[in-house]
Amino acid sequence: MSKQIKNSTVAGGVGAVATTGTAMATASAVSGASAAGIMSATAGSTGAALASLAGASGTAGGAAVASGMATIGSAVGGGMAAGAIITAAAPVAALAAIGWGLFKFFED
């Protein structure tokens, strides 16, 4: 009797590992860092672009990114560093969910 692992299970597992790895790498870069350190660790990333969308209205550039990271981080009881971790991991998690969904949709 042979038991096969579904492709969607593999895709979900790979996505979970990738998301966790991204979150851990970002956490090690921003833990204990000042606002300037967090900004330099996340500069030019997709997470920084996402954070700027959540920034306070009327702000631009670094102020929008910092404000957005702080706003996102406050949703989980953290601050700017927590927001940096969430915004770094969110795109990876979204791609993993899309990949899992596609595999699930086309599986027999």
* 74 or 108, greater pLDDT: 74
Answer yes or no: pTM beyond 0.85. no
57-93 per-position pLDDT tens digit: 778 888 889 999 999 999 999 999 999 999 999 999 9
Instruction: Give residue for tokens 């920034």.
Output: 55
Average pLDDT along the chain:
88
Is 1 a member of any domain? no
Is 60 a member of any domain? yes
Quote the domain boundaries for residue 91. 8-106
Is 69 a member of any domain? yes
Task: Quote the number of domains for the chain.
Answer: 1
The CA-based angle 20-40-68, given to 5 degrees, is: 70
